[in-house]
């Protein structure tokens, strides 16, 4: 019997260096090459901000010295609460250079959640986005400053301005505890040029450098704590498998506050001398494609819903996407049909699927260049180099046979050092042998390729049958009227649970009924897998990182259908 365990290929050596050292080496080597392009709000090339590696290294150094001048100690927590912008990247590398722990704060958080994370990790400095239409960042940050004694300093980022001037809202900064990004960077001259190198000499690859709060749908968020070694090596390995070179230009419409942006994006690109391109502060399908077109993107990232939205643009055919060759789709199940269109219609012949979670830095399995179409569209690839994965029976902990469904576990350099200040939660997630238990159901095929079947808690049990919503979603994606679909379980007096298909129709498609769907499924799906209910929607509730909130959809459905608590 072959068990569901594989180890990725062993590479010559993991990088045992800090992010700062790695960036210094790369930026020296590729000094004149373009490193970062931030498109203007509407993606117009003329108003974009651009940095070469030398310019980016200069700005990172200035910010690092500014942090030192402000007294930021090694290991001190510095938060950033902002949608994507160039300063996000600069701060990521500046904090790494001085050994401060960057805390990614979800830009969708509001006061209560912000204050929770500030207190949870004892954050002393918070870099804050300018307020925008959706979020009063400045006011909420000031509230946190007043309420949380550990928080000492707010650093306000300028508002985007087409003419390149830094603009701050009236009254910013207002007190000694407030400063602007410009002022922070302006303090660089207060410390000697050698100060960053002196601090760097005290840092080690094993030091924690980043805290990311996992989106957990229940309970309080937990702060996954990641080291230089965790995320630098994972980013580097992803870039290797994508074949990144200094010729690559990586378009990043996914958020930086999540690993997808800052690791699969920044660290993978910058460890290979590639350029990053930011299409905008938040995701817009047209801006993402404009950025590819205007700046010659070779690689495009997205969660599946982003690619679905791009492909659905009425003027999709008018974008010139021929420069694309690769990219990453990850974060939630990637429908095969969407993968196929991304390969054929977006020219992303070498697109990869990555699977992983924040706690594993994030990627633990990935498809490879040269994999068959079936492997690249129907699986999440195989184990990353220098990592191990296995599928276990959640009840017994035994590794299951190939092909059998169980819980996926990951071990190796990418597993986080733990949840910040929560040893009990860490021990629940990482067992004594170092295996991270993902909470994801999966099976591993004969060749070691992994197929994700869903979250353990999303599995639906109808009349004793285990149903994996993913299988039904894949089937329904092929329906000509369906643009996007999510399948959830709702309570049922007879069967325990019944299936509901939540559907976004293609523009112009005629409304579907539950009967239409049943007719479509007849003879092609076992009867118990045919959704009993249908819910036509314009959108799905999502986290900022693009995860669909199935728990919320289920609660809403229960309320609407009057199904009561289970």
Give the tokens for residue 435. 């295996």
Give the tokens for residue 273. 């001398």
Nearer to ligand AMP, 52 or 282 (CB): 282
Helix or strand (DSSP H, E) at 339:
helix 336-345
Least separation, in Å, of the C-beta of 359 and ligand AMP? 7
Rounded to 5 degrees, φ, ψ at 104 are -80, 115
Asked if 332 touches ligand AMP (CB under 6 A), the answer is yes
Asked if 418 touches ligand AMP (CB under 6 A), the answer is no
Asked if 438 touches ligand AMP (CB under 6 A), the answer is yes
Residues 405, 372 contacting (CB under 8 angstroms): no
Asked if 411 touches ligand AMP (CB under 6 A), the answer is no
**Sole window of 170-178, 273-281, 351-359, 509-517 interacting with ligand AMP (rule: CB under 6 A):** 351-359
Least separation, in Å, of the C-beta of 418 and ligand AMP? 15
**Sole window of 49-57, 61-69, 280-288, 332-340 interacting with ligand AMP (rule: CB under 6 A):** 332-340
Least separation, in Å, of the C-beta of 266 and ligand AMP? 16
Nearer to ligand AMP, 178 or 453 (CB): 453
Sequence-separated (6 or more) residues with CB below 8 Å from residue 139: 131
β-strand 101-105 against 77-81: which pairing, if any? parallel
Q: Which of 357, 384, 436, 472 binds ligand AMP (CB under 6 A)?
A: 357
DSSP character string of 3-43: BSEEEPPPPS----S-HHHHHHHHHHHTTTSEEEEE--TT-
Q: What radius of gyration do the chain's Cα atoms show?
A: 23
**Sole window of 80-88, 198-206, 229-237, 327-335 interacting with ligand AMP (rule: CB under 6 A):** 327-335
Closest CA to 225 of 70, 391, 421, 384: 421
Residues 85, 281 contacting (CB under 8 angstroms): yes
**Sole window of 29-37, 170-178, 197-205, 324-332 interacting with ligand AMP (rule: CB under 6 A):** 324-332
Q: Which of 294, 310, 371, 440 binds ligand AMP (CB under 6 A)?
A: 440
Q: Which of 455, 479, 550, 554 binds ligand AMP (CB under 6 A)?
A: 455
Nearer to ligand AMP, 203 or 231 (CB): 231
Nearer to ligand AMP, 107 or 331 (CB): 331
What are the helix and strand counts (H, E) for the chain?
Answer: 18, 27
Strand ranges (E), 254-403: 275-278, 299-302, 326-330, 352-356, 363-366, 382-383, 387-392
Give the tokens for residue 63. 């910010």
Nearer to ligand AMP, 158 or 418 (CB): 418
Asked if 160 touches ligand AMP (CB under 6 A), the answer is no
Q: Which of 89, 135, 375, 545 binds ligand AMP (CB under 6 A)?
A: 545
Nearer to ligand AMP, 89 or 104 (CB): 104
Q: Which of 358, 361, 375, 379 binds ligand AMP (CB under 6 A)?
A: 358
Nearer to ligand AMP, 362 or 531 (CB): 362
Q: CA torsion 415→418→420→425, rounded to 10°? A: 120
End-to-end CA distance of the chain: 40
DSSP-assigned beta bridge partners for residue 77: 101
Asked if 215 touches ligand AMP (CB under 6 A), the answer is yes
Residues 451, 442 contacting (CB under 8 angstroms): yes
Nearer to ligand AMP, 87 or 453 (CB): 453
Sequence-separated (6 or more) residues with CB below 8 Å from residue 435: 390, 409, 410, 411
Asked if 437 touches ligand AMP (CB under 6 A), the answer is no
Tell me which residues in 242-301 interact with ligand AMP (CB under 6 A): none
Q: Which of 3, 11, 214, 282 binds ligand AMP (CB under 6 A)?
A: 214
Residues that bind ligand AMP (CB under 6 A): 214-215, 330-334, 353, 355-358, 362, 380, 438, 440, 452, 455, 545
């Amino acid at each position: 019997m072959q068990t569901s365990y594989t180890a990725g290929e062993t590479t010559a050596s993991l990088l045992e260096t800090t992010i700062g050292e790695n960036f210094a080496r790369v930026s020296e080597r590729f000094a004149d090459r373009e490193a970062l392009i931030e498109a203007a709000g509407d993606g117009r090339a003329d108003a974009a901000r651009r940095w070469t590696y030398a310019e980016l290294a200069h700005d990172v150094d200035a910010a690092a010295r500014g942090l030192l001048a402000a007294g930021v100690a090694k290991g001190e927590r510095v938060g950033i609460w902002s949608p994507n912008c160039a300063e996000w990247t600069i701060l990521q590398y500046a904090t790494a250079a001085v050994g401060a722990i960057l805390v990614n704060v979800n830009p969708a958080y509001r006061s209560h959640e912000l204050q929770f994370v500030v207190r949870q990790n004892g954050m002393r400095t918070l870099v804050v986005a300018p307020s925008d239409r959706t979020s009063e960042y400045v006011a909420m940050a000031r509230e946190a400053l007043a309420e949380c004694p550990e928080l000492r300093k707010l650093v306000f980022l300028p508002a985007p301005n087409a003419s390149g001037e830094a603009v701050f809202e009236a009254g910013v900064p207002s007190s000694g505890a407030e400063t602007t990004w410009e002022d922070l960077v302006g303090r660089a001259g207060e410390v000697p040029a050698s100060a960053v190198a002196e601090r760097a000499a005290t840092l080690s690859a094993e030091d924690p450098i980043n805290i990311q709060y996992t989106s957990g749908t229940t309970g309080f968020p937990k702060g996954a704590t990641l080291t230089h070694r965790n995320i630098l090596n994972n980013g580097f390995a992803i870039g290797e498998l994508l074949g990144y070179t200094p010729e690559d230009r990586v378009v990043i419409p996914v958020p930086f506050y999540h690993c997808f942006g800052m690791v699969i994006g920044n660290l993978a690109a910058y460890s290979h001398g590639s350029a990053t391109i930011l299409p905008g502060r938040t995701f817009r399908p047209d801006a993402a494609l404009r950025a590819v077109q205007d700046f010659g993107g070779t690689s495009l990232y997205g969660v599946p819903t982003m690619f679905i939205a791009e492909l659905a643009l009425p003027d999709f055919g008018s974008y010139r996407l021929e420069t694309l060759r690769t990219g990453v789709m990850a974060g939630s199940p990637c429908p095969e049909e969407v993968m196929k269109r991304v390969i054929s219609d977006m020219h992303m012949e070498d697109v990869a699927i990555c699977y992983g979670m924040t706690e594993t830095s994030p990627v633990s399995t990935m498809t490879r260049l040269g994999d068959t179409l079936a492997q690249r569209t129907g699986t999440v690839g195989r184990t990353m180099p220098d990592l191990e994965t296995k599928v276990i029976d959640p009840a017994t902990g035994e590794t299951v046979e190939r092909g059998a469904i169980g819980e996926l576990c990951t071990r190796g350099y990418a597993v986080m050092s733990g949840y910040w200040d929560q040893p009990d939660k860490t021990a629940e997630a990482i067992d004594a042998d170092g295996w991270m238990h993902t909470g994801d159901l999966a099976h591993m095929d004969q060749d070691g390729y992994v197929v994700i079947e869903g979250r353990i808690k999303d599995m639906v049990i109808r009349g004793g049958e285990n149903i994996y919503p993913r299988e039904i979603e894949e089937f329904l994606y092929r329906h000509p009227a369906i643009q996007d679909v999510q399948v959830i379980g709702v309570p049922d007096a007879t069967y325990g649970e019944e299936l509901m298909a939540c559907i976004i129709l293609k523009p112009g498609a005629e409304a579907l009924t539950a009967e239409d769907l049943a007719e479509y499924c007849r003879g092609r799906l076992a009867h118990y897998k045919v959704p009993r209910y249908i819910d036509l929607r314009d959108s799905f509730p999502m986290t900022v990182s693009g995860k669909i909130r199935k728990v919320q959809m289920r609660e809403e459905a229960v309320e609407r259908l009057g199904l009561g608590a289970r």
